[in-house]
């Protein structure tokens, strides 16, 4: 090959190599730009969830302190001035109802049905109604109304309200985002806020995720799993950062010894599940009766009667007839004094109904757990089970009663498992939850929250049509 031919060949090779390098560099630049844009978009999508979760964790911690101080103050007052309960309880019940009725009617009760109702409002015409169920005003009214009710000895919890508060915080974050921000699903924010609220309230991140899937989500988790996980983990870490790492109930010793434990598991699951579902049926009837009263004066009379019922229970039966019931759970799980009177489960159930049914804020999660604990403890007492075997029945009673209320056996079992760190009994908890769910379905086909959600939606649509 002559010199000229070699030069031409070199030019051709250089030309094609140059083109190849150029295309490669352009392709790399395009991929880098695409990756940066994708990372920026994902960052903008996750950031609101991160901020909402931090705020939820902080508010949940502060709420728990307010709630705890209210319970402690009430017990101190009634210990030193027991007769005052007949004045304080009716008055606090009235004020709890009034502040909710006056400023945010749908802060009444737990908060979980309100979140479920907000998720059902999907059409453009219904969007304005969402603010009735979750929003800034809800947060303040919910905290004040529930804390006041607890000051009077009401048997309510803070966990359900924290779920509504979490959704409200996330929705407010969504509201303040600038117009140029990437599109974020309002429904996903509500779900993530609810899950974060539960995780922060109980320190149960898995429970928050399972709750979102089992109770709230109507579509596959793959569409929102990343922001949901980020929100739940961050809310839990924020609450732990303020209050320290903790278990809601501690680590009770459990054991499985003898055939009587099998019988106890069956009895605790079925009886607690039955009582949980039956309580909800009666509670719904009471709520419908109260809402149907034609005048405010009649409602006030019913609330005074409810307050006097709770006051009488506290005065004659003691402090285990008041509050969320956490002290009862701690007593039967962590002391040798596991004895409960046969009537204590019914006292807790009746107290929850009279504290919850007339309105005002307050949840049923913790009171349901305490009622289930008394059922499990009483069955262990009948079967002469002690120590770890008795604790196993107590925890199964808690799972079963909560399942009877929520119809969410996975959520109930995971919450109990996480709040006690008892890995070894997770299968027993699941068995208890599923058995309770079966018998609860014979009492009523739909969960308490589901039926309340339908009532709230019917009520708000009727109100919208009148306007």
Percent of the chain with pLDDT over 70: 87
| 55-106: pLDDT as tens digits | 999 999 999 999 999 999 999 988 889 999 999 999 999 999 999 989 998 9
Q: In which band, very low, low, confident or very high, does the pLDDT at 18 lie, cut at 50, 70 and 90?
A: low
Residue 219 has pLDDT above 70, yes or no: no
327: left (phi over 0), alpha (psi -120 to 50) or beta: alpha
Domain at 259-459: CATH architecture: Orthogonal Bundle (1.10)
For 229-244, what is each residue's pLDDT tens digit?
778 888 877 877 777 7
Q: Are 280 and 444 in contact (CB under 8 A)?
A: yes
> What are the structural domain ranges in the chain?
49-243, 259-459
- Percent of the chain whose pLDDT exceeds 90: 44
pLDDT in tens, 326-358: 889 999 999 988 889 999 999 999 999 999 888
For range 195-224, the mean pLDDT = 76
Residue 32 binned pLDDT confidence (cut-offs 50, 70, 90)? low
Average pLDDT over the chain, rounded to an integer: 85
173 has pLDDT over 80 = yes
Of residues 155, 373, 356, the one with CA closest to residue 272: 373
Q: What is the pTM of this model?
A: 0.87
- Name the band, by pLDDT with cuts 50, 70 and 90, for residue 34: low
Find out whether 332 and 397 touch, Cβ atoms under 8 Å.
no
Class of 49-243 per CATH?
A: mainly alpha
């Amino acid at each position: 090959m002559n010199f000229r031919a070699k030069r031409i060949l070199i030019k051709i090779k250089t030309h094609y190599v140059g083109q190849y390098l150029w295309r490669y560099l352009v392709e790399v630049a395009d991929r880098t730009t695409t990756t940066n844009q994708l990372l920026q978009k994902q960052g903008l999508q996750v950031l609101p969830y991160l901020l909402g979760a931090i705020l939820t964790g902080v508010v949940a911690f502060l709420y728990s302190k307010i709630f705890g101080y209210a319970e402690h103050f009430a017990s101190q007052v009634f210990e030193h001035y027991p007769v005052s309960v007949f004045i304080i309880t009716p008055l606090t019940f009235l004020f709890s109802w009034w502040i909710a009725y006056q400023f945010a009617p749908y802060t009444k009760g737990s908060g979980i049905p309100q979140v479920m109702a907000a998720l059902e409002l999907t059409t453009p015409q219904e969007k304005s109604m969402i603010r009735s169920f979750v929003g800034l005003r809800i947060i303040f009214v919910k905290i004040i109304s529930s804390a006041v009710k607890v000051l009077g000895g009401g048997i309510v919890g803070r966990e359900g309200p924290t779920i509504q508060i979490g959704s409200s915080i996330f929705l407010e974050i969504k509201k303040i985002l600038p117009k140029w921000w990437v599109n974020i699903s309002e429904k996903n924010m509500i779900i993530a806020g609810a899950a974060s609220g539960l995780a922060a309230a109980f320190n149960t991140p898995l429970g928050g995720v399972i709750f979102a899937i089992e109770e709230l989500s109507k579509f596959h988790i793959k569409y929102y799993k990343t922001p949901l996980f980020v929100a739940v983990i961050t809310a839990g870490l924020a609450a732990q950062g303020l209050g320290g790492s903790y278990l809601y109930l501690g680590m009770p010793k459990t054991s499985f010894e003898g055939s009587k434990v099998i019988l106890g598991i069956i009895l605790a699951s079925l009886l607690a599940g039955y009582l949980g579902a039956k309580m909800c049926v009666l509670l719904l009837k009471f709520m419908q009766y109260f809402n149907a009263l034609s005048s405010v004066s009649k409602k006030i009379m019913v609330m005074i009667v409810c307050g006097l019922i709770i006051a009488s229970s506290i005065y004659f039966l003691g402090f285990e007839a008041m509050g969320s019931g956490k002290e009862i759970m701690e007593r039967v799980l962590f002391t040798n004094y596991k004895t409960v009177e046969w009537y204590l489960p019914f006292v807790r159930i009746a107290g929850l109904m009279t504290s919850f049914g007339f309105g005002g804020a307050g949840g049923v999660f913790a009171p349901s757990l305490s009622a289930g604990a008394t059922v499990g403890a009483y069955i262990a007492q009948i079967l002469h089970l002690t120590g770890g075997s008795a604790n196993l029945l107590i925890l199964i009673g808690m799972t079963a009663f909560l399942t009877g209320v929520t119809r969410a056996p996975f959520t109930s079992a995971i919450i109990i498992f996480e709040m006690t760190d008892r890995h070894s009994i997770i299968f027993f908890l699941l068995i208890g939850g599923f058995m309770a769910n079966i018998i609860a379905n014979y009492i009523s086909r739909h969960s308490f929250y589901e039926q309340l959600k339908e009532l709230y939606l019917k009520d708000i649509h009727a109100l919208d049509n009148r306007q």
